[in-house]
Structure 1
Amino acid sequence: MSDSNPRASVEIDAPLDDVWAVMMDVEAYGEWNDFCFRAECPSPPKPGDPITLHVRWANGRTTTSPERISIVEPPYDDAGTRRATLAYVYEGLPAKLGLVRGRRMQRLSQVPGGPCVYDTVEEFSGPLVKLAGPGRVAEGFGRHAAGLKARAEARARD
């Protein structure tokens, strides 16, 4: 694992389709997501759509991150394993200047009878990646994953 590619993973005791529904309901992020407490995006999100993420760092400071959705792969069967993917690309000024590029991948997988596994990674590149704060992004991804788990498991129980 590269220090410049923050990631998080969690097992969620819920059907993959429920987890996907929570991920795609960007208008409700503020109800469960302590890291990305607001997301502005057309609903439902589709490739090419802009998405502005409102992020809260562990120190309480907030920022916005302009992104563009690159992949929306709804749940599908892959030789008995259910899968889905949501991805977006960072479009802030550092990216436009070629200083920091980022691509966030969020993948779901679930084998029959098993938990849904959520994996996320930010693939950073560029000369100023360290200034992007990969460590603080990883901490935020952990909070995002924990919130997604809690929300999807509650949804599955209802």
Structure 2
Amino acid sequence: MGTKIPISVLVVIHTPDLRVLLLERADHPGFWQSVTGSVDGADEPLAETCRREVLEETGIDSAAHVLTDWQLQNRYEIYPHWRHRYPEGVTHNVEHVFGLMVPDAVPVTLAPREHLAFAWLPWQEAAGRCFSWSNAEAIRSLPARAAAW
């Protein structure tokens, strides 16, 4: 069994006009998502997990942009074929949702072992392309969040 901690972040990277960056998973071609990743240790702050994962997966330095904790958590069952990454008996993960606003469709450098492709899409199209219900739901909340800015 693995040692992965069942606490993760989901980072919806978007522009002010609500275009969203999606990444195609290398281990599941055709599966598109926002940046995701687990904390590196029980003491790693969630914002630091976001910064690390965004940089690793996209090459984007989040320190130059606006990272916002959406104060949204999702608890979901870990797919059985990925449970070997976690300690024995762990079946659920808690995902913390963040947004990262960038000024425009900034350049992206993919981590080739993790992702095959990327796309900047209007929020509606991005939500429709996500394989994860929590990712799609987060993207669908963008217009209401933007109205509050």
TM-score (norm 1): 0.27
Q: State the structure with bigger RCO (CA 8 A, min sep 6), 1 or 2.
A: 2
TM-score (norm 2): 0.28
Greater per-residue strand proportion: 1
